[in-house]
Chain A
């Protein structure tokens, strides 16, 4: 097996008395695409919030790229190389594509001017074009405000952020939940491009067809526990549904939920 990019050991999150996530042991290898599935409230989003630094875990370890991490916020995780495409897009509607890609980490000139340092529009535009090319995203005009774009194009911009910054790991939380058929295809194409480029990915999705189309491995969450770790070749839709609903539990996770 190739190198491990992300590993969690005994990752646990309690909200008061609610055990949203219990002892999640998870491994992701370099270049691997993994799907996280499970019913609503099974702990998928909680898991993602812990590894992206949005929340602090109650206990457990996160080992990213060989180092134990303590994320104090999403910025920490992003600086470490974990880029997340959230369900609710974190885009500023009135700004254009390069502005959004570089929001909070603008390329600048004359840095001695402090908050009034100058924006290097030219460099950011070029880097944006490179990033879009890498993800094969086609946007009619990158200088258009995000407001004037379709849902798919917006999603693509959010995804292109990850490509522009050479992230080590991309996490997508329900990236196509709000999209139409064509736009979904567009986003799935980008995911395939990332796969070809050898970029690891965690995909949270409810869409069985999409999951079987795009990933190598499926992790199933149920009631805060990981209950299955399935290779795509060894399973099928029926099987995964059985794990999700609780009709089946993986042998190594027996007694977990």
Chain B
């Protein structure tokens, strides 16, 4: 035994000994949940959950429901991509829902048309000079709002060293206040056609998938990603190794803010209106998606792929309850249970990981 542990040479690079990726477990959970809904559907209503049960031979799946599921999770999924990175640094971002609210209001104000059906826009925020603007203006304004909020979060967390929970809780309250202040609570509506096109049809899904691929690549193959994991895994070690932990955290929170901004642009474009109450508890849904997807609240573990699967699990459960014709109130109650359950699962995983060592 002793000799197999040390001695010269004989370095092994054994692919088969690589640890089982957690994403496979998460994916298995997704399949299991779908199977449960299929079984319940067959037992209670004699209907299939995801497959076409109307004996139409032109499709295998219930495309309508699949579309709804992925469309439903896309907008919050975009937020979850940023929240994933924050949680991997062992932080948390509670502000994303409110940042969506304030960004929605401000970006939409710059996307309004001056005339609706021949009469002046009844929901106008600015004068005619700031209406009918090219699409780039609301997009840049929206991104800037998200980046600005994220930057403040990052600076608060990294420089004042207050717990991320408190720093982003402050932003959550303030940003919601700013969203209401912007128009004294009135909704902002009637965007230009180009702006409305951003979130129409399946566009939110496409944007979500593109961003997910981009950030998967960034987290896995760039120095930014490696340092994000290192900070969450052992912040002292990261600092001793020469990583500028402070600057890196600011960057991570800023990116999370930017993604919340993008989410707000897509959301308002899809809904054709912005309200100050938009995005309420999106932050918790996003955190739930990440944690369900295997991102550890202790930091250092998780992945973008995991979060995407986590988002799908989230969507499937919500859609499954609708399919089983459960009341919307039950859905909310169950959603709370899912969030707590995901954290319990994370705790359990951590304990198991600690016991292995």
Contact = CB atoms under 8 A, between A and B. Distances in A.
Contacts of A93: 233-234, 300
A99 B17 CA distance: 18
Interface in B232-290: 232-234, 236-238, 240-243, 248, 251
Most chain A Cβ neighbours within 10 Å, of B226, B232, B251, B300: B226
A186 B8 CA distance: 11
Contact of A94 (B1, B232, B241): B232
B17 A141 contact: yes
Contacts of A108: 223
Given A93-B234, A148-B357, A106 B223 contact: yes
A9 interface: no
A33 interface: no
Interface in A180-195: 182-183, 185-186, 189-190
Contacts of A92: 229-230, 233-234, 237-238, 300
Given A93-B233, A99-B226, A117-B223, A140 B6 contact: no
B329 interface: no
A142 B230 contact: no
Interface string B282-306: 0000000000000000001100000
B5 interface: yes
Nearest to B12: A140
A94 B232 CA distance: 9
B5 A119 contact: no
B14 interface: yes
Interface in B6-52: 6-14, 17-19
Given A90-B237, A144-B18, A103 B230 contact: yes
A183 B5 CA distance: 8
Interface residues of A, number: 46
Contact of A141 (B2, B18, B226): B18
A184 B137 CA distance: 64
Contact of A136 (B6, B218, B223, B229): B6
B129 interface: no
Interface string A73-90: 011001000000010011
Contacts of A103: 226, 230, 237-238, 241, 243
Nearest to B301: A94
Contacts of B7: 136, 138, 189
A119 B2 contact: no
B353 interface: yes
A104 B11 contact: no
A166 interface: no
A138 B5 contact: yes
B184 interface: no
A137 interface: yes
Most buried by A among B5, B13, B17, B238: B5
A69 interface: no
A78 B243 CA distance: 13
Interface in B191-244: 218, 221-224, 226-227, 229-230, 232-234, 236-238, 240-243
A133 B9 contact: yes
A99 to B, nearest CB: 6
B17 A189 contact: no
A136 B8 contact: yes
24 contacts: A86-B240, A90-B234, A90-B240, A91-B237, A93-B234, A94-B232, A94-B300, A95-B229, A95-B230, A95-B233, A99-B226, A103-B230, A105-B242, A116-B223, A116-B224, A117-B223, A118-B223, A119-B222, A140-B12, A141-B13, A142-B13, A182-B1, A182-B5, A185-B6
Interface of B: 1-2, 4-14, 17-19, 218, 221-224, 226-227, 229-230, 232-234, 236-238, 240-243, 248, 251, 300-301, 353, 356-357
3 A-B pairs with the lowest CB-CB distances in the bound complex, closest first: A104-B241, A104-B242, A94-B300
Given A148-B357, A182-B1, A186-B5, 6 more contacts: A92-B238, A116-B224, A118-B221, A133-B11, A136-B9, A186-B6
